[in-house]
């Protein structure tokens, strides 16, 4: 009887020791925008159209890419996003502007003295891309006639994490 008891005890210990271990599930963490970013290039597509009495009297379409070493660079020298929702922008010449920001999904909303502006962005562990688009239509005098002017731009600012 002792042999059976010891055998059952040994078998139960073996089964308890051989319990299947649960796999550790690792949930991927999305890269954070928090950190220091240095712009590396900016791509811009800008177009203007003027229409007078239903006729196009002027049209222009310009596409260009710039880097910080190019003359005419008119983009930030750097940006820092802090975990408390503050964004510091290095405008160059020692000028730093401070804004607040929030983001949700791929939308970044930056609030400055002009109010909030929302842009689309993508972020990885090493890169940040901010995309902005805008179209504005207004009227103005063109050779004594009312012209409808439409200006549009698409801008992509590429940055690397520092």
Pull the structure tokens for residue 78.
Answer: 């750097």
Give 55-113 pLDDT, tens digit per residue. 999 999 999 999 999 999 999 999 999 999 999 999 988 899 999 999 998 999 999 99
Full-model pTM:
0.76
C-alpha separations of 70 from 27, 63, 94 in Å: 42, 15, 19
Give 28-38 pLDDT, tens digit per residue. 677 899 999 99
Residue 18 DSSP class: T
Q: By 3-state DSSP, what share of the chain in percent is helix, strand and coil, each rounded to 5?
A: 10, 60, 30
């Amino acid at each position: 009887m002792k042999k059976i008891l010891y055998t059952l005890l040994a078998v139960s210990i073996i089964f308890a020791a051989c319990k299947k271990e649960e796999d550790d599930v690792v949930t991927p963490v999305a890269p954070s925008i928090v950190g220091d970013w240095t712009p590396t290039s900016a791509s811009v597509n800008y177009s203007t159209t003027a229409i007078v009495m239903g006729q196009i009297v002027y049209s222009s379409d310009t596409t260009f890419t710039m880097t910080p070493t190019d003359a005419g660079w008119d983009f930030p020298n750097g940006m820092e996003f802090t975990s408390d929702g503050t964004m510091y922008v290095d405008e160059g010449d020692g000028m730093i502007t401070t804004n607040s920001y929030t983001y949700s999904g791929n939308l970044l909303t930056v609030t400055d003295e002009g109010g909030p502006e929302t842009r689309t962005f993508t972020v990885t562990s090493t890169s940040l891309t901010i995309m902005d688009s805008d179209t504005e239509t207004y009227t103005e005098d063109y050779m004594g006639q009312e012209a409808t002017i439409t200006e549009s731009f698409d801008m992509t600012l590429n940055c690397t994490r520092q």
